[in-house]
Amino acid sequence: MAYIKIDTDAMQTVINNINDYANAADGARRAIRRSSEYHYDPVESVVTDTEPLPDLLNPAPGNTTISANVARLREVAYQLRSRRQEAIDINESGITMTNPDGTLSYYLPDPPPGTTDEAAYWRNMDTADNVHAYNTGAAEAAKADAAALDQALGSLDGTAKDGRTVEQILNEAAKHRDIPAYGASFTDQYTAEEYLQLVYALDGHYQISYDGDDGGEQFSKSVETLSHILAAASQDQVGGADLAAGFTDAVNPDISQRQLESPMTALNALLSVPDTAYGTGFLGALAENLEDIDPTSVPASGPPPFANGEFYTADPLAGVLTAMGSNSEAALKYLTSDGTNDADIEKRWEMLRQRDWDYHGGAGLDGLSAATAAASAYRGADGDPNAPADAAARATWMTAQAIPFFVDHVEEVDFTATMKQNLAVLLGNSPEELAALADSSSLESDDAYGLSGLVTDAEFETLLYRVIDDENAAGTLAAAMGQYHHNQIDSKMPAASNPEETLLGEYQNAATTMGYLDGIAELRAGDDSAAQADAKSNMGTAVSVFSTALGTGVSAVTGGTGMAVAGPLLYSSGSTIAKPVIIDQLTEDWNTPDTINVADIKTVLRAQAYVDAAQYGLLSDAAMEAAATGNNGSPFSFYTEIDGQPTITAPNPITPETAHEYITWQRQVNDPTMNSIDNEMNSTSLGHDEGLQAEIIK
């Protein structure tokens, strides 16, 4: 979110100076024109250059007369004056706060993902009209929409005084739902309790009054819209932290006496909408308040379900922790010490360990896993000036608390799919430790790793064992580890004194890791034939994810978006993962096998290693010539020329089937590097055996 800061006094001085200069220039123009007209024969060029411009006429781009340039100066002054006034008006309305340095701000949306020319974006976005639309205009629209929604929900025919239906009002609100001024103004029309009651009012509307057959879908959309509006209002720049106290009181059973509806359930419904970025201060204050509410004091939610068939939990911490899963900084602040509150954080973790998570069906643990996953992304924050102080060390400490927690305090049978996927992010953000265990090293005997001495081998491997049977968790781990080994290659190859030896060593490590993941998955499946089939299918996809990330980075498997599609408040460093990889979305057009074995993994990694070896110029001329002509006199499908240079490419993804073409190529030549690669891939079996021998806590 972009907030443009304005020193209103200094800007007024600039505006005055521009206007003074424009007036002086215009006065000079008039004097020159009069001098030309009255004292001498008019000079044609002077007449043209000093011709007055009608007040309502904007100068054409090619107009270089004095009047045109004066008009442009006055337009600049007007644009600055408009922005200054917007910042003042939105501040005086109570929507935005005065910045600590005394400046004011106005809001404009960030460039959308994929924007290549940000300068052009801001030239088009930062206009007086847009500044008004995203600030005071949005606030005014929110007031009108909130009033209309109340009218429509309270009327017999479901329409407001302006003729709009509930759906039309919500559709309009959805267009502005992420604008902080809109969110702050909309929520300001309600008390916290009234805002939560909107969830139930809309549920009643779609269960009883709505005539369409898509009531469940419409209700889900309405909750999503209300969630985004509240999230926009919760941003720090519009005083979002102040909302926490009101919402705490609204859901606290010692204060709120509602009998028919559960405000806690409504709050959790709003906080649990995926990928909704709530403000850092709001989440921190809300979590600190809600952790004091005994979960057994809140009535459990039960039937009937909401219009969309959902049963939202009434666990006080479930929603706010889930929301932290989309705000890494909020999660880090809540779960780790900043150096001034060590005792408070130790007490919090003790509370988390002793808390009754089962009373509300364990839903809160899904939220805790999301928060720990988001905070763990900071393990890659070393040297990042934009990260919180000591973020990497704090994230490492948090990871050392989270791993034993989920091993010792959550039964294996209670792990949900959501929990497994989030914890795969947590483990994937400890790639050095995972790779070390794959290579027979120990976290207990070697202090070379961040978690050394903080987590036992058995604890790490047990958590890995418990999550890897989930398809998305396996894919997430494969993506994270593929990226890790890709980064190792990228960092070491440019300065390597022996590039071939370096590349071979790194691919040996990568093969060990992938074999280890396959071995853990096989161990997890045990003797259950159905579980074995699922494990083989999951690994069939995982090895393609791993090899693609290994070769070109994980953006190749996430649509160019980095380690995962990260929300605006999720931390992503390029070496850590922000969100689970959703395999169905990723592999829609992939033709991955339903089953796989160690030999298949070796084949895939051999092919990827050949591609990298060619990229680094390690293959012989004969090998490159064979790639160009060895397919019955034609090039293999992976061969191309870029700027006249022979190039070996990789399909997206490499599967055992597509890898066989590379093996055919290799067999046509006796290339020493390719032969060495084949030998190093035997480490896949070593990693697989290490996974089968993992120490698991039952």
Per-residue pLDDT for 435 more than 80? Answer: yes
pLDDT attached to residue 405 = 98
Least confident of 128-142, 170-184, 333-347, 555-569: 555-569
pLDDT attached to residue 290 = 98
pLDDT tens sequence across 533-553: 999 999 989 998 999 899 887
Nearest of 280, 286, 255 to residue 268 by alpha carbon: 286
pLDDT tens sequence across 58-83: 666 767 788 888 888 988 998 899 88
Query: How many CA within 13 A on the CB side of residue 656?
Result: 17
> Which residues have a Cβ under 8 Å from the Cβ of 284 and sit 6 or more positions away?
241, 330, 333, 334
Contact 228, 177 (CB under 8 A): yes
pLDDT tens sequence across 222-240: 999 999 999 999 999 898 9
Given the structure tokens 């051999």, which residue do they identify? 606
Nearest of 538, 537, 557, 559 to residue 547 by alpha carbon: 557
Per-residue pLDDT for 395 more than 90? Answer: yes
Residue 555 confidence class, pLDDT cut points 50, 70, 90: low
Q: 87 φ, ψ to 5°?
A: -60, -40
Residue 112's identity, in one-letter code, is P
Residues 664 and 597: their CA atoms lie apart, in Å, by 20
Average pLDDT along the chain: 90
Residues 162 and 169: their CA atoms lie apart, in Å, by 10
Contact 148, 169 (CB under 8 A): yes
pLDDT attached to residue 560 = 41
pLDDT over 90, % of the chain: 71
pLDDT attached to residue 38 = 72
Per-residue pLDDT for 558 more than 60? Answer: no
Residue 48 confidence class, pLDDT cut points 50, 70, 90: low
pLDDT tens sequence across 160-172: 999 999 999 999 9
Residue range 407-415: average pLDDT?
Answer: 97
Residues 71 and 78: their CA atoms lie apart, in Å, by 10
Residue 44 confidence class, pLDDT cut points 50, 70, 90: low
Cα–Cα–Cα angle for 286, 291, 295, nearest 5°?
120
DSSP string, 77-103: HHHHHHHHHHHHHHHHTTSSPPPTTS-
Burial of residue 530 (number of CB atoms within 10 Å: 0-12, 13-18, 19+): exposed
**Structure tokens of 587?**
């592999």
Residue range 425-444: average pLDDT?
Answer: 96
Per-residue pLDDT for 251 more than 90? Answer: yes
Residues 84 and 90: their CA atoms lie apart, in Å, by 10
Contact 320, 382 (CB under 8 A): no
Per-residue pLDDT for 515 more than 90? Answer: yes
DSSP string, 593-618: -S---HHHHHHHHHHHHHHHHHHTT-
Given the structure tokens 């922000």, which residue do they identify? 578
pLDDT tens sequence across 610-659: 999 999 999 999 999 999 999 999 999 999 999 999 999 998 888 899 99
pLDDT attached to residue 448 = 87
Residues in the chain: 698
Residue 54 confidence class, pLDDT cut points 50, 70, 90: low
pLDDT tens sequence across 316-369: 999 999 999 999 999 999 999 999 999 999 999 999 999 999 999 889 999 999
Residue range 34-60: average pLDDT?
Answer: 65
Residues 405 and 402: their CA atoms lie apart, in Å, by 5
pLDDT over 70, % of the chain: 92
pLDDT tens sequence across 265-293: 999 999 999 989 999 999 999 999 999 99
Per-residue pLDDT for 108 more than 50? Answer: yes
Q: 646 φ, ψ to 5°?
A: -60, 135
Per-residue pLDDT for 41 more than 70? Answer: no
Per-residue pLDDT for 43 more than 80? Answer: no
Q: Cis check for the bond before 304: say yes or no (omega within 30 of 0).
A: yes
Given the structure tokens 């010692």, which residue do they identify? 254
Contact 524, 535 (CB under 8 A): yes
Residue 32 confidence class, pLDDT cut points 50, 70, 90: confident
- Strands (E) in 57-156, as ranges, are 104-108
Q: How far is CA 232 from CA 109, 134, 266, in A?
A: 12, 12, 18
Per-residue pLDDT for 566 more than 80? Answer: no
Give bridge partners of residue 646 from the DSSP assignment: 641
Least confident of 250-264, 456-470, 517-531: 250-264
pLDDT attached to residue 33 = 75
DSSP state, 59?
A: P
Per-residue pLDDT for 101 more than 50? Answer: yes
Given the structure tokens 């340095």, which residue do they identify? 101
DSSP state, 3?
A: E
Residues 284 and 323: their CA atoms lie apart, in Å, by 11
